[in-house]
Amino acid sequence: MNVMEIRNTLGASVLCAVMFIGITALPATLAADDDAPARETATAEPPDPRLVSRGKRLYVFCRACHATEEVKGSKIGPNLAGILNRPAASLEDSLYSDALRQQDFVWDEEKLDTWLLRPATLVPGTSMAFVGLPQEANRTAIIAYLKTL
Ligand code: HEC
């Protein structure tokens, strides 16, 4: 066997090995694909960092009345840490209006959107003295930020 022949034989066996690995790896890849949709539904959508930072800047409209860290408790308005999926008027240390106390809903994105457009439309008689955010993009950004609290 000369050098060329040795090279060819080596090359062929390497090629065989690669093909073999490729074939044996295939079922695992298919199985991983089958799992993918289940995993997607199990985890929440990752927040868009640019939207969140825009919302954080817009939160300047809320900061005077709402704290965001639980340890700080409530200001004039209730603390907003964990507001997503929290039942309305459910913090004990906050003074809520009777109008909000009488509500029987959980704060989801849709409710927050209506609230931030104009609080009194969602809850007539609310004590949140806030004109509202007419621009949908601003409401979306604040809600994205609220989700991170
Ligand atoms: C002038 C003060 C003030 C400003 C500004 C303000 N809020 Fe409020 N907010 C309140 C008060 C007071 C309440 C309680 C309302 C009630 O009991 O009717 C409230 C209630 C809320 C609630 C309901 C909380 C719960 O526990 O049910 C949310 C959500 C909320 N505010 C979000 C915001 C966001 C987001 C902003 C900024 C865009 C904002 N607020 C701006 C005073 C304010």
Is 145 within 8 Å of 60 (Cβ atoms)?
no
**Ligand 1 nearest-atom number relative to CA 64:** 5
pLDDT in tens, 12-46: 554 444 444 444 444 444 444 444 444 444 456 77
Give the sign of the dihedral formed by CA 97, CA 102, CA 103, CA 104: positive
Give the sign of the dihedral formed by CA 133, CA 137, CA 138, CA 143: positive
Specify the CATH number for 49-147; select among 3.40.50.10490, 1.20.120.10, 3.20.20.140, 1.10.760.10.
Answer: 1.10.760.10
Residue given tokens 């840490």 in the structure block: 81
Structure tokens at 128: 């949140």
pLDDT in tens, 59-114: 999 999 999 988 788 889 999 999 999 999 999 988 999 999 999 999 999 999 99
User: Which residue's CA is minimally distant from atom 40 of ligand 1?
Assistant: 62
User: Which residue's CA is minimally distant from atom 17 of ligand 1?
Assistant: 96
**Ligand 1 nearest-atom number relative to CA 87:** 27
What is the rounded distance in angstroms from the CA atom of residue 120 to the CA atom of residue 131?
9
Beta bridge partners of 87: 106
Structure tokens at 70: 């639980």
Q: Half-sphere exposure of 18 toward its Cβ, with a 13 Å CA cutoff? A: 6
Please tell me the predicted confidence (pLDDT) of residue 47.
Answer: 81
What is the rounded distance in angstroms from the CA atom of residue 85 to the CA atom of residue 94?
18
pLDDT at 136 over 60: yes
Domain boundaries along the sequence of the chain: 1-43, 49-147
What is the rounded distance in angstroms from the CA atom of residue 28 to the CA atom of residue 104?
48
Beta bridge partners of 106: 87
Site to probe by mutation for ligand 1, drawn from 61, 70, 128 as the one with most ligand atoms within 8 Å of Cβ, is: 128
Please tell me the predicted confidence (pLDDT) of residue 28.
Answer: 45
* Ligand 1 site residues, Cβ closer than 6 angstroms: 61-62, 64-66, 76-78, 80, 83, 88-91, 96-97, 99-100, 107, 115-116, 126-130, 133, 142
Q: At what angle do helices 49-58 and 136-147 cross, to 10 degrees?
A: 100
